[in-house]
């Protein structure tokens, strides 16, 4: 079944985001681009930023536009498919480092090296993927269907996280959030088609995006799927 826009989506005002780059981010990217020629180890440094958990007061150094697809089977969520689209600066240096033949694309062996350098180490942070099903936190995520590609001048990761056992939102809400508690990576939703469904969604199910509270406190845009009677 093709992916479709999420039905019955409610976005609370406090969790809305402004589209495009903020002026502070634009200034930061401009300055870092000017310094890029002087930083031969830039990609290694930025990869370290992805792994950093040192200070909650730190400013983000990597920006990611994300999309989430809820994959349903028999009205239960069996997997979550994520798309990460990196900012121009990180993309430029990552592509320059791993596109060894300079053809503007990533061959399978280049994707493997890129994954090993920048993505696999995030396993100890559960890939910044946070999931609660029926009030219980799911941890120890595995990743399937990882791919990396270049679109325009942007680096894009795509991967799925199985929900094991599958989550039945009738039995309790399913909450999904992309969040780096170290505040080194800023996850934002893409401007369009940022929340999708693959499979049949029951008519009485509702999706809600609101600033996290309680166990999700600090999460700016967790997605909650709840199905009433």
Q: What is the dihedral of CA 11, 78, 119, 89, to 10 degrees?
A: -30
Note the pLDDT of residue 50. Answer: 52
Q: What is the 3-state secondary structure (H, E, C) of 150-191?
A: EECCEEEEEEEEEEEEEECCCCCCEEEEECCCCCCEEEEECC
Residue 123, Cβ neighbours under 10 Å: how many?
12
Note the pLDDT of residue 5. Answer: 59
> In this predicted model, what pLDDT tens digit does every residue of 68-127 receive, in sequence order?
999 999 999 999 999 999 999 999 999 999 999 999 999 999 999 999 999 999 999 999
> In this predicted model, what pLDDT tens digit does every residue of 116-171 receive, in sequence order?
999 999 999 999 999 999 999 999 999 999 999 999 999 999 999 999 999 999 99
Task: Give the residue extent of every domain in the chain.
Answer: 4-227
> In this predicted model, what pLDDT tens digit does every residue of 22-41 receive, in sequence order?
433 434 433 333 334 333 44
Note the pLDDT of residue 13. Answer: 61
> In this predicted model, what pLDDT tens digit does every residue of 3-27 receive, in sequence order?
655 656 777 765 566 554 443 343 4
DSSP 2-64: --EEPSSEEE-GGG---SS--HHHHHHHHHHHHHGGG-TTHHHHHHHHHH--S-TTPPPSEEE
Distance, in Å, from the CA atom of 60 to the CA atom of 34, rounded to the nearest integer, reads 18
Distance, in Å, from the CA atom of 22 to the CA atom of 42, rounded to the nearest integer, reads 23
Cross-strand pairs, 118: none
Quick one: DSSP state of residue 104? S
CA angle 112, 109, 101 (to 5 degrees): 125
Distance, in Å, from the CA atom of 145 to the CA atom of 132, rounded to the nearest integer, reads 22
């Amino acid at each position: 079944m093709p992916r479709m826009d999420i039905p019955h989506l409610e976005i609370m005002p406090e969790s809305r985001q402004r589209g495009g780059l903020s002026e502070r981010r634009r200034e930061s990217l401009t300055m870092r681009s000017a310094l890029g020629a002087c930083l031969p180890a830039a990609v290694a440094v930025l990869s370290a930023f992805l792994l950093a958990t040192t200070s909650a007061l730190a400013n983000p150094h990597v920006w990611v536009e994300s999309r989430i697809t809820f994959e349903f089977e028999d009205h239960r969520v069996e997997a979550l498919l994520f798309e990460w689209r990196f900012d121009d600066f990180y993309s430029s240096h990552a592509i320059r480092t791993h596109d060894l033949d300079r053809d503007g694309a990533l061959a399978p062996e280049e994707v493997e090296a890129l994954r090993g350098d920048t993505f696999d180490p995030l396993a100890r942070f559960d890939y910044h993927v946070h999931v609660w099903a029926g009030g219980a936190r799911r941890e120890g995520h595995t990743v399937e269907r990882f791919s990396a590609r270049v679109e325009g001048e942007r680096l894009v990761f795509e991967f799925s996280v199985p929900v094991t056992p599958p989550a039945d939102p009738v039995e309790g809400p399913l909450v999904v959030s992309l969040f780096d508690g170290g505040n080194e990576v800023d996850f934002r939703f893409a401007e369009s088609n940022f929340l999708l469904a693959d499979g049949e969604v029951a008519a009485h199910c509702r999706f809600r995006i609101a600033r996290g509270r309680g166990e999700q406190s600090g999460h700016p845009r967790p997605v909650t799927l709840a199905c009433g009677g």
